[in-house]
Chain A
Amino acid sequence: MYSDGDTIVAAATPAGESALAIVRLSGPLCTGISEEFAGDRPVLPRKAFYGAYKAADGVLLDRCVFIPYPAASSYTGEDMLEISCHGNPLIVRQIVDDLLRRGCRPAEPGEFTRRAFLNGKMDLTQAEAVQDIISARCEAALEAARRQLDGSVGTAVNALLDKLLHVVAYTEAYIDFPEDDLPPESSEGPIAELVALQKAAKLLIATAPYSAMLRDGAKTVIAGLPNAGKSSLLNALVGEDRAIVSAEPGTTRDYIEERLLVGRHLLRVVDTAGLRIGAGEVENKGIEKSLNQIEHADIVILVLDSTTPLPYREVPEQVQKLSNRAGLIVVENKCDLPDSVKLSDIMPDAKHVRISALNGDGVEELRGVIAQTIESSCRVPGQDDVLVSARHAEALRSMSDNIALALEKMRSHEPAELAASDLRAALSALEQIVGRVDHERVLDLVFSSFCIGK
């Protein structure tokens, strides 16, 4: 059987909200992962079983249907596992992330098909077609990657590469030229450079969720007490932006999701069931779901009715909890009515905006505040800033992890060739983005930085 020994993972269904989503794995880890989710039940080939998807750290992510396929009867000719989860992009992402932590790696474009072909799961007449599929997918991916690499990502990643190569060259010089007249070896410089590299990589990695946010929109939850005017607010916000709005049912049909543009930001707005007053108790499943939505939101807009002010202590407990949340905006609705009063004593630390969802007063101001909030609560890149894709982020994370291993050894003065081995792994992680780096580049740096040779 053809195999590079890796288990690959990818979402098999398109990104976005849907009733169900499928995550697909292929490779040697599938059996172990199936067995873990099956618990005490036997894992039977091609027999679906239902179970809790618990992440490696024990957190319940979703309840899923698992279908294991042994190599003999699978698409790729390797052991496979299909996981059907709820079609929420966040859940899909969490499941994929968890599988990466369990040792899988993201599939390359067309890789499932490629493996299927190489393992003889397709006959010769299909070969040309497969080649077309792969070349088309690769071409698209390459084209995208090339555009990205020509631009800001390329510049940023190449800057990291240069720095890493300098450290590698320094370390290697002292390993390969012990008899040359080099200045005394010091690990301080390389350690400082590696720490700086980690920081730079971290900043780049932090832009990866934002690039997903750009694609999917910033999740914005409208919450509030019943009849505070949440739906009117959603209509007021959506009003002029009908062109890009698409109403999609939520996975549970307990909430409505709309997309709209605010400034240059795409918002995915979720209207939730009301948070009822009830001595701080969660009264029904709807409220639980609303709270769950709030938890995973980038922005929370809490709508209050300014005509029926509550003393702060009477605000429901679950709403009070929001007050420390980043990205919280308090909207005081119905400001056009005569009995409207200012509610600045409720959640005084959050930003307050007084509006009338009905006649549109203050809605423009609210848009401005939303834009500002996105920009301050998420690490929003500037125009020339770099956004890395999830694949790049994974490579950068792997680079960072290997640098951490190298740093540990350098600080505890372990033999230099061990840290060098980690640095080489860090370099090959970067090669996943920039392509093969010729070792001559390291040697060039060695010979230009040190007077070597007898």
Chain B
Amino acid sequence: MIGTELEPYDVIVCGAGHAGCEAALAAARMGMRTMLITGNIDTIAKMSCNPSIGGQAKGHIVREIDALGGEMAINTDTTAIQFRMLNESKGPAVQAPRAQCDKKAYQFRMKHVLELQPNMHLFQAIVSKLHYSAGKVKGVGTTIGADIYAKTVIVTTGTFLRGLMHIGRNKTEGGRSGDFSALTLSGSLKEAGIELERLKTGTPARVIGSSVNFSVMEEQPGDERPLLFAFYDTRGLPDDLFHVEQSPSLDLAERLLFHVEQGRGMRKAGWLPGSEQLSCWMTYTGDETRRVIMENLQSSALYGGEISGVGPRYCPSIEDKMVRFANHERHRLFLEPEGRNTDEWYINGLSTSMPFDVQQKILHSVPGLENAVMMRPAYAVEYDFAQPTQIHAWLETRAVEGLFFAGQINGTSGYEEAAGQGLVAGVNAALKVRGEPPFILGRHESYIGVLIDDLVTKGTFEPYRMFTSRAEHRLLLNHNSAELRLGEHAIRFGLMDEGRAKLVKEKIAKVRNWTERFEQIPAPGGRLGDYIRRGGDASPASADFHALSASTRDEIIYRVRYKGYLDRELKQVEKLSHIEKIAIPQGFDYGKVRGLRNESRQKLEKHRPETLAQASRISGVSPADISLLMVSFVSRNA
């Protein structure tokens, strides 16, 4: 039987949230015998907070997940009820798609994908502890009394590690409203020498739509011709799925997108991603909102001193916004539907840790919500996380061999950030089992790489969210190029089927060839490359070019138009590549480096960078410090 000491699983994933699902899928797709354990099988891939996926930087990550053979993109496309492209007024590098999802549909599809995945065992139990032996992880203990063994364990606990929810001064144990709290696992991690700290996050109230006066709000519809998250041209489909409804590829599209439902009587004939979109609605807080909040500030869990964990700066509670931006007359709110088959609405912008009675008053002070009936109150949740400087760039803990962390336990926030880490953790657990070198994504090739490098190099003091500005090579990371940047990794790990692998390779070659050819093709006033950089379009190119997929054409034009900038960034990447490769020995004694300033030594000892490049990214570390370290390592390795 699998899971015993004699015949352990290859990989156990604890937690079936967005990180856990991608981790388990990646491992199983790489041929690992995988168990995904969750405390509640009915809450797999649950969207605990807002109903949306994507947006700035996050949308980039979702496309990267698709390029790496993950599930989030296609799961979003098939369950989304609204799509919007953000930042259309800016250039292509910083545009990103965002979708509103049907929360339940999202969960059900993901659950079904997991169920159909070969090598996957989906199991319901609460993990109470980890088993170790000689510095290695051996398996997990559960509250049902069963011990399950594995060669590697990926922990994706989200907000459940000693989760504590606050509504005013009221406290309830639990990682999410209606769910349990993992009370004993923290102790097991501490036993292994892993230090834990507290973070805080929150979610706003949900109301019933029939009690909302939408007529005073502004409608925010989806895009008519949305851009989807997954890449379809390399799956043998037109990029523009919406205009294929009458074409023979409809059948193919349905088979591909709804493979999960095939033969199970769940086929959603006639519906394709992006059709029949629902709207969101916009309103603003009023003067009364401010008055209610200011009068009751002391009863807020946050301002009343009930919460010790640090919350995110980019996601402040409404009381925080009122205090810090006292001169703002009003604050914008969005009402977002939670799904197609429900009338529950999420109030984006009204997150709070006020007591229930004050929450009611705040809600009713908002134009359009005067008579709103609350279905679930807002709450804040505090949970344990492990400062991510305790893990390697491949997400394995430094303290315990074979133990991997992904998602909020690493101090991040967001479904997308979690899923990206989950995928990388799943791949690395599989590589560990195979005895192969770890997979480390570079900062220059992906937002997921920037995310993980920031975490393991600098740690975090608040729930870490991705922003495009965190990526120094942002122009190289446009969402449309994700598959070109990362596809080869997915092919190497076997995360992409052969048909798609072939098309991805072809697409990479086409983009490279056409980008060069554009500098030769004649165009008005010179060559096509210059013509495009002067603001022209690609019309002088031959019919062959126009026959390429839209995503291929867009990428070629992008690379030609921004050639100067992209070359500059590539040059910087090249310059840094040598120090990316210089490893700092484990347990290196910085005290022995003569000439190293005390201040730098202390910082390096605290952060324990694993490569010279990581060391160079620590604030205050100077080029001279890097020189000294470089010589020191080389002389030791010689």
A438 touches B575 (CB 8 A): no
From B103-111, B145-153, B462-470, the one touching the partner chain is B462-470
**Smallest CB separation, B225 vs chain A (Å):** 19
Per-position 1/0 for B340-352, Cβ under 8 A of A: 0000000011010
Smallest CB separation, B453 vs chain A (Å):
12
Q: Is B229 an interface residue (CB 8 A)?
A: no
- B265 within 8 Å of A (CB atoms): no
CB of A131 within 8 Å of the partner chain:
yes
The contact size tier of chain A is 35 or more
Inter-subunit contact A424/B472 (CB<8 Å): yes
A114-B630, A134-B628, A436-B617 as given contacts; A178 in contact with B565, CB under 8 Å:
no
Whether B622 lies near A142 (C-beta < 8 A) is yes
**B548 contacts A by Cβ under 8 Å:** no
Tell me the complex Cα distance, A182–B579, Å.
40
Q: Is the CB of A176 within 8 A of B469?
A: yes
Which residues on the B side are within 8 Å of A132 (C-beta)?
A: 594
* Chain A contacts with B in 1-41, Cβ cutoff 8 A: 2-6
Residues from chain A with Cβ under 8 Å of B90 in the complex: 175, 178, 415-417
Residue of A132, A417, A452, A454 most packed against chain B (CB within 10 A) = A454
Q: Is B83 an interface residue (CB 8 A)?
A: no
Chain B residues with CB under 8 A of A432: 623
Residues of A within 8 A of B314 (CB): 447, 452-453
If A6-B575, A124-B638 touch, does A108 touch B467 (CB 8 Å cutoff)? Answer: no
B475 within 8 A of A: yes
Question: How far is B568's CA from A111's CA once the two chains are assembled, in angstroms?
Answer: 24
A441 CA / B76 CA spacing, docked (Å): 34
Q: Does B569 contact A (CB under 8 A)?
A: yes
Do A118 and B624 touch across chains, with their CB atoms under 8 A apart? no
CB-nearest residue of chain B to A168: B469
Chain A residues within an 8 Å CB radius of B268? none
CB proximity of B369 to chain A, nearest CB, Å: 16
CA distance A394 to B252 in the complex (A): 60
Question: Nearest chain B CB to A369's CB is how many angstroms away?
Answer: 44
- Residues of B within 8 Å of A322, CB to CB, are none
Whether A108 and B91, one on each chain, are in contact in the complex, defined by CB atoms closer than 8 angstroms, is no
Taking a contact as CB atoms under 8 Å apart, the answer to whether A118 and B631 are in contact is yes
Are A142 and B472 touching (Cβ within 8 A)? no
A100 within 8 A of B: no
A181 contacts partner chain B, Cβ-Cβ < 8 Å: yes
Known contacts A417-B91, A439-B470; A134/B631 CB under 8 A: yes
B444 within 8 A of A: no
Closest to B89 in A: A178
Q: Is A57 an interface residue (CB 8 A)?
A: no
With the chains together, A217 CA to B57 CA distance in Å?
55
Cβ of A172 under 8 Å from chain B: yes
CB distance A142 to B597 under 8 Å?
A: yes
Residues of chain B within 8 A (CB-CB) of A254 are: none
Residues facing B in A96-131 (CB within 8 A) are 108-111, 114, 117-118, 124, 127-128, 130-131
The answer to whether residues A421 and B621 also contact, given A127-B635, A130-B631, A176-B468 and a CB cut-off of 8 A, is no
Interface pair A451/B93, CB less than 8 Å apart: no
The proximity string for A residues 137-177 relative to B, scoring 1 for CB distances below 8 Å and 0 otherwise, is 01101100000000000000000000000000000100111
Q: How far is the CA of A135 from the CA of B629 in the complex (A)?
A: 10
Report how far A6 CA is from B631 CA in the complex, Å: 18
**Nearest CB of chain B from residue A26's CB, rounded to whole Å:** 15
For window 24-78 of chain B, which residues contact chain A by CB distance below 8 Å? 50, 55-57
Query: Which listed residue, A5, A135, A139, A172, touches B571 by the CB 8 Å rule?
Result: A5
Q: How far is the CA of A127 from the CA of B351 in the complex (A)?
A: 59
Give the Cβ gap from B6 to chain A, nearest Cβ, in Å: 49
- Interface bits B591-631 vs A (CB < 8 Å: 1, else 0): 00111110000000000000000001111111110011011
- Interface contact A131-B331, CB-CB below 8 Å: no
- Asked if B578 is at the interface of the complex by the 8 Å CB criterion, the answer is yes
User: A387 interface residue, CB < 8 Å from B?
Assistant: no
Tell me the bound Cα distance from A178 to B616 in angstroms: 31
Q: Is the CB of A131 within 8 A of B469?
A: no
- Interface range, B side: 35 or more
Instruction: Let me know if A108 and B635 touch, CB within 8 A.
Output: no
**Closest CB in chain A relative to B201 CB, distance in Å:** 12
Determine if A4 and B578 form an interchain contact, defined as CB atoms under 8 angstroms apart: yes
Q: Closest residue of chain A to B88, judged by CB?
A: A178
Report whether B623 and A131 are in contact in the complex, using a CB–CB cutoff of 8 Å.
no
Structural contact, B627 and A108, CB atoms closer than 8 A:
yes
Chain B residue nearest in CB terms to A169:
B469
**Closest B-chain residue to A422, C-beta based?**
B565
Instruction: Report the separation of the CA atoms of residues A398 and B296 in the bound assembly, to the nearest whole angstrom.
Output: 53
B469 to A435, Cβ gap below 8 A? no
Q: Provide the bound-state CA to CA distance between A136 and B631, in Å.
A: 13
In the bound assembly, the distance between CA atoms of A118 and B637 in angstroms comes to 11
Q: Does A244 contact B (CB under 8 A)?
A: no
Q: Is A72 an interface residue, CB under 8 A from the partner?
A: no
Q: Distance in Å from the Cβ of B348 to the closest Cβ of chain A?
A: 5
How far, in angstroms, from A236 to B569 measured CA to CA in the complex? 60
Asked whether A178 and B458 contact (CB < 8 A) given A3-B578, A415-B90, A453-B315, the answer is no
| Residues of B with C-beta under 8 A to A451 | 321, 324-325, 328, 331
Query: Which residue of chain B is the closest to A143 with respect to CB atoms?
Result: B597
The smallest beta-carbon distance between B316 and chain A, in angstroms, is 5
Q: State whether the Cβ of B433 lies closer than 8 Å to any Cβ in chain A.
A: no
Q: Does A443 interact with chain B (Cβ within 8 Å)? A: yes
Cα–Cα, bound, A27→B32 (Å):
48
Nearest CB of A to B423, in Å: 23
Question: Which one, A4, A124, A424, A437, contacts B619 given CB within 8 A?
Answer: A437
Q: B634 contacts which chain A residues (CB < 8 A)?
A: 117-118, 127
1/0 per residue, CB under 8 A from A, across B428-470: the answer is: 0000000000000000000000000000001000000001111
Q: How far is the CB of A13 from chain B (nearest CB, A)?
A: 23
Beta-carbon contacts under 8 Å, B550-575 to A: 562, 565, 568-569, 571, 574-575
B508 contacts the other chain (CB 8 A): no
B94 A417 Cβ-Cβ under 8 A? yes
Chain B: minimal CB distance from A375 (Å): 36
Is B538 at the interface (CB under 8 A from chain A)?
no
Are B467 and A135 in touch, CB under 8 angstroms? Answer: no
A-B contacts, 5 of them at CB < 8 A, read A4-B575, A131-B594, A175-B87, A176-B468, A415-B91
Other CB < 8 Å A-B pairs besides A111-B627, A141-B624, A142-B624, 20 of them?
A5-B574, A6-B575, A109-B624, A117-B631, A134-B627, A135-B628, A139-B595, A142-B622, A172-B467, A175-B87, A415-B94, A417-B90, A421-B568, A432-B623, A435-B621, A436-B622, A443-B469, A451-B325, A451-B328, A452-B313
Q: Which 10 interchain pairs have the tightest Cβ spacing?
A: A135-B595, A415-B91, A127-B635, A438-B619, A172-B469, A451-B325, A181-B332, A447-B313, A138-B624, A454-B349
